[in-house]
Amino acid sequence: MATEPTNFFAAGGIVAYPLLVFSILTVALSVERIIFWFRVYSIQPKVIRRVLIDYQENPGQVMKTLTSHRDLPVCRIFTRALGFSYNHEHLSPTQMHTILESAAQAELPILRRFSTVFTTVIAVSPLLGLLGTVLGLMRAFSSLSLGNFDGTQVAGVTGGVSEALVSTVMGLVVAIVALLFANLFRSFYRRQLAFIQESLGQLEVLYSERLTPGELHHV
């Protein structure tokens, strides 16, 4: 019984090897993304609430808090925008909005990290399974010889059919698992976009409130 997984893998034929690589890659990247999103959703909301409160009551603490959490997307956005506003006085709310939007756009590739890899695995894995199916059937038919159907031919036919079926199953399993994780991370990404827009809007309001009427008229 201990050799069954090995036999199953070997029965998949040559396409089993790239499918194995895809499966390992999918698991490794999924673990990395799960850790990333877990930290984002478990820590970031608390930090941003603290930052928005400090921005009104204790502005000197804001940059320290943001700097200590620069591994969080919204914190990096706030750090860039507020750092720019501190270095350039009399920024208008419109200018601040533009800076925040630019900083948010720079974060999108990080939030979508590895999405292309998942898309590739989802698309290519079933095709590899189909290739294995074709190769297995070709092997099965090549073993046939009319009028001379002995035990060797039986083994060749069954081996070819087994390769065709196993490779198909492997390709579908890898693609399905990758699709499930990809959809999960896509939902996390969409929720994060909504949170980013909400946080940026709150910071813009607070920034506008801090400007004096004279500064608003000046800018």
Q: pLDDT value at position 164? A: 75
SS3 (DSSP) at 63: helix
Residue 219 resides in a domain = no
Q: Rounded to an integer, what distance in angstroms lies between the CA atom of residue 69 and that of residue 51?
A: 11
Residue 1 resides in a domain = no
Return the percentage of the chain with pLDDT > 90, whole number: 57
Kindly report, residue by residue over 19-50, the tens digit of the pLDDT.
999 999 999 999 999 999 999 999 999 999 99
Residue 46, CA atoms < 13 Å, CB-side half-sphere: 6
Rounded to the nearest integer, the mean pLDDT of the chain is: 84
Kindly report, residue by residue over 93-149, the tens digit of the pLDDT.
889 999 999 999 999 999 999 999 999 999 999 999 888 888 877 777 676 654 555
Kindly report, residue by residue over 159-172, the tens digit of the pLDDT.
667 777 888 889 99
Residue 127 resides in a domain = yes
* Range of the structural domain that residue 93 is part of: 12-213
Q: pLDDT value at position 166? A: 85
Total domains in the chain come to 1
Residue 191 resides in a domain = yes
Token digits of residue 4:
């069954």
| Proportion of the chain in helix, strand, coil states, percent, rounded to 5 | 85, 0, 15
Q: Are 70 and 197 in contact (CB under 8 A)?
A: no
Per-residue pLDDT, averaged over 173-187, amounts to: 96
Residue 86 resides in a domain = yes
Residue 4 resides in a domain = no
* Degrees, nearest 5: CA angle 60-93-196: 75
Residue 165 resides in a domain = yes
Cβ-count burial of 93 within 10 angstroms (0-12 exposed, 13-18 middle, 19+ buried)? middle
Residue 19 resides in a domain = yes
DSSP 8-state symbol, 124: H
Is this prediction's pTM over 0.85? no
